[in-house]
Amino acid sequence: MSESSHAQRIGDVMLDMQNISLAFGGVKALTDISFNVREHEIRAIIGPNGAGKSSMLNVINGVYTPQQGAIQLRGQHFSRMNPRRAAEMGIARTFQNLALFKGMSVLDNIMTGRNLRMKCGLLAQALRWGPAEREEIAHREFVENIIDFLEIQAYRKVPVGRLPYGLQKRVDLGRALAMEPRLLLLDEPMAGMNIEEKQDMSRFILDVNDEFGTTIVLIEHDMGVVMDISDRVVVLDYGKKIGDGTPDEVRSNPDVIRAYLGVDGEAALAH
Amino acid sequence: MAQTRPQTAAVASGAHTFPALLREHARVRGERPAIREKDLGIWQTYTWREVATQAQRVAHGLAELGIRPGMHVAVIGENRPRLYVAMMATQALGAIPVPLYQDAVAQEMVYVLQDAEVSVAVVEDQEQVDKMLEVRAQCPALRHVVYDDPRGLRHYADPMLCAYEQLEQLGVQHAQRHPDYFERAVAAVQPHDPAAMFYTSGTTGRPKGVVLTHHALIDRARAVARMENLTDQEDVLAYLPPAWIGQNMFSYTQLLVSGFTVNHPESPETVSIDMRDIGPTYYFAPPRVLEGLLTHVTIRMEDAGLIKRRLYGACMRLARRVGTRILDGQPVGAWDRLLYRLGDLAIYGPLRNALGMSRVRVAYTAGEAIGPDLFVFYRSIGINLKQLYGSTETSVFVCVQPDGQVRDDTVGPPVPGVEIRVADNGEILVKSPGLFKEYYRNPEATREARDAEGWFHTGDAGYLDADGQLKIIDRAKDVGKLADGSLFAPKYLENKLKFFPYIKEAVAFGAGRDEVCAFVNIDLEAVGNWAERRGMPYAGYTDLAGKDAVYDLIRECVEQVNADLAGDERLAASQIARFLILHKELDPDDDELTRTRKVRRAFIAQKYAVLIDALYGGRERQYIETEVKYEDGRTGTISADLRICPARTFPAISAKAA
């Protein structure tokens, strides 16, 4: 029942990556890659180490500028993106190696995600001037809803550095959510987690997609998790796209099997 | 009665049912907070008037769903204002709320839902909704499931489900069509009608539904309110399952009787934070919760700097020496008093604050035996922790320790209104206005538990000691007699041994014999730590358990228990004459313990018959080989040559110094 309603929600193409190529000096990170992301879907980018997954994500949110290719985001064309514009257009991301403020509390860390939406100036905020205070209260309420959503009420005032890794990942997700993103980029959200933490995180990702209708692009190593939660999967290997489709299609794609299992994998498959 | 304090809810009011009490509070203290809940980081308050209005609306809604007097409504979830309101609404209709443990799996709920023919369940969230949907085929009577928290339920389209807001809507419509329905329903509720039903887990057989009347619950709550001078100013934190009678009495019945404020934590993980926010004045915790808090404090202190650690150590020594005496109002020297005052500024006060117990006026512990060290810790830092005794069938309060008469090994004298008698086999019999009406649809069990003269057989063994306090020693079925006819309570001895951190499990034998002997399991972690600090190498449990130094350590513990027992006339004969340390840990996988880690004494006696013969045969060593099951299912054998160690016993002290 919920499966079909989810499928119905998937809408038009919101992000279209066209023939993207990216090189660092002589190293080709990405070669002529095209794929698109539809509204409300969960799209995964997978591939072995060094396949160019993180580079792809960095192209989407404007950290890297591709030498060739174009990006079309909600009908608008860009030959280059920059991080500020990406944020303003509703793209938020989490980081593989957590870029949280370790000494700040969970609450404050997530509050930083609201920064872009705060209208009052520094001085007004410092003086707790009327409108600034009202604004802060409104933002705080939004952040509290995220805390409730991610079930981290018990750690609200705890400095992030003191939390276990799995929870820090959740805070990182919370901060990205605070930006009210339309497109959420998750860079290995489950790296280094144990099974239970992975299950929790999978549930939160599905819930975000379901409750807020957020489109999600995620990079992940763990094939099992990816296949379980994503609608469509792009497979990269050595900077090239070798597969694209539903999890089932990708799983049975011989190129993908070869990339993951090596050449012997093909032989093994033939038996 | 005590009319001098206007805010005292313990005054004899005209209200004798829960709905009548609710209306009285709405009238008398309508603007006072009744329920608070922390939501999105902010405490939200519902006044008595609001709660009463909501309950009325929900009652109309439940009536619309077909709830009539005498029917059962299941309530499943954590402590949540809306679930409390649902219980009040159910009672207002003359129907009976049945709280279920929220962490039970769906199949465990089936029996209760069938037995009570539940047609409407009010549940907290998606988790509980899923359980209801899972068991619906087995429970044909179940027609409506009302949920509080809609999260994750967006795509559920089952017609059986109904959001809480929808229920309120139904209530509003029903109220328009039947304006005086609620009035008539409330007026029809009689004090001796059933007010709530609690299922007892029952270690054997099926759970039994304990039916308690309005009169029984309210009478006991009033008795204790008078005894402890509870007012409508109390703050209570409800954090244990509402399906447990202890929590339900404490945060629901007493809430409605005394008209105080109950606070619902944000989530189970935030309880300690919420407790600091609220600073409850009236507190209830089973020993395991108190133990958890103490462990937390101890760990934090061990991480502190040297000066702080020293100061803490010194203050706690002083507190142990004089703290409880000061709390009990006994004479203490002026110098010690001054030192204690300073300690209060430096350590005890901040510690109480960190525990969220700064404002605690009355605190209870119950449910299981509490270790004396644990109990004294809380009392010595100035928290008025007391013990009580009761069960579901007795509306909790049978015995409560009054201020100034608190001891660690008794549970207090009977609460006014309660009569206690000790049967010939040592079983405690209770007569009380708070006794249950019956086991639901189980007249046979009811007859078994409550005899023709109205005595309830608690199943616990104990006795009233010299100053009238009840002492619980064991389950009645486990209590035996030594060969000379004196009382033998194995669990009491085992608990006493287990209060030592070095002893993990103990099994006492002696029924029908002329003296008591015991098996001991050392606590590998505690004793291992102890051994490391002494630079004593060991290869594992079996090796460590066989060391002479460890035997000496355990012998000291046993002798301390013996010295303690010597002070008790009835139990002096139960002093442990000889013991041995088992070569392996008792394990549920080997069927030596139950899954809840209770020792299976009879099984152990049979399995280790050789060792028992050796203990009573006066031998010094005994060789044994035991088969063990490893966690992966393989089996192996452990063999050892066990030493049998005699322990010093003490002559009975007949006249007690206390």
**Pairing state between β B635-643 and B470-475:** unpaired
Cα gap B444→B292, rounded to integer Å: 40
Q: Give me the residue label for tokens 């004593």.
A: B536
- Identify the three-state secondary structure at position B485: coil
**CATH number, position A4:** 3.40.50.300
- pTM, whole model, 2 decimals? 0.86
Q: pLDDT above 70 covers what percent of chain B?
A: 96
* Out of B152, B155, B273, closest to residue A5 by CB: B155
For A212-269, what is each residue's pLDDT tens digit? 889 999 998 777 888 889 999 999 988 899 999 999 998 888 888 888 776 654 444 4
Q: Which residue of B has its CA nearest to A211?
A: B152
Which residues constitute the domain of residue A174? 100-180
ipTM over 0.90: no
Per residue in B297-353, pLDDT (tens digit) is 887 887 888 999 999 999 999 999 999 999 988 889 999 999 999 999 999 999 999
Residue of B nearest to A206 (CA): B152
Among residues A120, A152, A180, the one where a domain terminates is A180
pLDDT at B368: 81
Query: What whole-number percentage of chain A has pLDDT above 90?
Result: 41
**Cα–chain-centroid distance for residue B76?**
19
Residue A144 lies in a domain: yes
Domain assignment of residue A17, yes or no: yes
DSSP state of B88: H
Distance from CA of A154 to the nearest CA of B (A): 5
- Same-domain pairing of A195 and A270: yes
Other CB atoms within 10 A of residue A177 CB: 24
Residue A33, C-beta contacts closer than 8 angstroms, at least 6 positions apart: A17, A19, A20, A21, A52, A56, A69, A236, A239, A240, A241
Whole-angstrom distance, CA of residue A189 vs CA of residue A197: 10
Q: How many CB atoms lie within 10 A of CB B70?
A: 11
Beta-carbon separation of B40 and A144 below 8 A: yes
Are the beta carbons of B260 and B282 closer than 8 angstroms?
yes
Compare all CA atoms of chain B with the CA of A204 and give the residue at the minimum distance: B152
Instruction: From A180, A212, A245, give the residue that closes a domain.
Output: A180
CB contact under 8 A, B267 and A153: yes
Instruction: Tell me: do A116 and A198 sit in the same domain.
Output: no
Nearest to B59, CA basis, from B27, B35, B92, B82 = B92
> What are the counts of helices (DSSP H) followed by strands (DSSP E) for chain B?
24, 28
CB B584 within 8 A of CB B542: yes
- A141, A148, A153, best to mutate vs chain B, most B CBs in 10 Å: A153
CA distance A2 to chain B (A): 6
d(CA A42, CA B18): 52
Q: Which amino acid is at B115?
A: D
Task: Tell me the β-bridge partners of B628.
Answer: B636
Pairing, β B399-400 against β B385-389? antiparallel
Give domain status of residue A4, yes or no: yes
Phi, psi of B94 (to 5 degrees): 80, 10
What whole-number distance in Å separates Cα of residue B625 and Cα of residue B635?
Answer: 13
Per-residue pLDDT reduced to its tens digit, B163-219: 999 999 999 999 999 999 999 999 999 999 999 999 987 555 688 999 999 999 999
User: A50 and A122, same structural domain?
Assistant: no
Give the pLDDT band (50/70/90) at residue B11.
Answer: very low
Question: What are B107-127's pLDDT values in tens digits?
Answer: 889 999 999 999 999 999 999
Provide CB contacts within 8 A for B178, sequence distance 6+: B60, B63
Which of the residue ranges A184-193, A221-230, B2-11 would you say has the lowest mean pLDDT?
B2-11
Query: For residue A85, which of A213, A183, A189 has the smallest C-alpha distance?
Result: A183
Q: Where are the alpha helices (DSSP H) in B303-355?
A: 306-318, 324-327, 334-343, 349-354
Q: Checking DSSP bridges between strand B282-284 and strand B362-365, what pairing results, if any?
A: parallel
Angle formed at CA B28 by CA B26 and CA B31, multiple of 5 degrees: 60
pLDDT score of B358 more than 50: yes
- Cross-chain residue pair A147–B155, CB shorter than 8 Å: no
Chain B residues within an 8 Å CB radius of A8: none
Q: Which domains does chain B have, with CATH numbers?
A: 18-189+230-282 (3.40.50.12780), 479-646 (3.30.300.30)
CB contact (8 A) between residue A148 and residue B154:
no
Chain A hits for B42, CB-CB cut-off 8 Å, are 144
Residues A238 and A261 both lie in one domain: yes
A137 in a domain, yes or no? Answer: yes
**Cβ-Cβ contacts under 8 Å, A156 against chain B:** 41
- Where does the pLDDT of residue B24 fall: very low under 50, low under 70, confident under 90, or very high at 90 and above? very high
Q: Do A249 and A261 sit in the same domain of this protein?
A: yes
A165 CB contacts (<8 Å, ≥6 apart)? A192, A193, A197
Residues A169 and A207 in one domain: no
The reply to whether A72 and A137 lie within a common domain is no
User: For residue A210, which residues of chain B lie inside 8 Å, CB to CB?
Assistant: 154-155
Residue A8 has pLDDT above 80, yes or no: no
Asked if residue B255 lies in contact with residue B52, where contact means CB atoms within 8 angstroms, the answer is: no
Question: What residues contact residue A26 under an 8 Å CB cut-off, 6+ apart?
Answer: none
B269 neighbourhood in chain A, CB within 8 Å: 153-154
Written as one letter, the residue type at B267 is S
> How far is Cα B605 from Cα A117, in angstroms, rounded to an integer?
72
Same domain, A14 and A145: no
Short-list B360, B341, B335, B366, CA closest to B249: B366
Residues A26 and A86 in one domain: yes
Answer yes or no: is A86 within a domain. Answer: yes
Q: Is residue B25 helix, strand or coil?
A: helix
Residue B5 has pLDDT above 60, yes or no: no
Tokens 């005054």 found at: B11
CA separation, residue A213 to residues A37, A41, A106, A199, B48 (Å): 14, 9, 24, 20, 39
Q: Using a CB-CB distance cutoff of 8 angstroms, which residues of chain B are in contact with residue A148? A: 40
- For B50-201, strand residue ranges (E) read 72-76, 96-100, 120-123, 144-147, 161-163, 194-200
Nearest to B94 by CA among B74, B69, B116, B119: B69
pLDDT at residue B301, rounded to an integer: 84
A180, A202, A233 — which closes off a domain?
A180
Residues A72 and A121 in one domain: no
Q: Is the pLDDT of residue B95 over 70?
A: yes
Across the interface, of B155, B157, B267, the residue whose CB is closest to A154 is B267
The highest-confidence range among A115-124, B142-151, B535-544, by mean pLDDT, is B142-151
Q: How far is CA B70 from the centre of its chain?
A: 29
- Measured between beta carbons, which residues in chain A are less than 8 angstroms from residue B266? 153
Residues A1 and A70 grouped into a single domain = yes
Q: How far apart are CA B191 and CA B123, in angstroms?
A: 27
Q: Do A79 and A127 reside in the same domain of the chain?
A: no
Cβ–Cβ < 8 Å for A71, A16: yes
CB contact under 8 A, B154 and A211: yes
Token pair recorded at residue B209: 């539904």
Query: What total of structural domains would you count in chain A?
Result: 2
**Domain assignment present for A95:** no
pLDDT value of position A263:
60
Q: Give the number of A-B residue pairs with CB atoms closer than 8 Å.
A: 30
Return the closest-CA partner of residue A142 out of A103, A169, A116: A116
Q: Where are the beta strands (DSSP E) in chain A?
A: 13-24, 27-38, 42-46, 68-73, 76-78, 91-94, 183-187, 215-219, 232-237, 240-245
Cβ–Cβ below 8 Å for A153 and B155? no
Asked, for residue A200, whether it belongs to a domain, the answer is yes
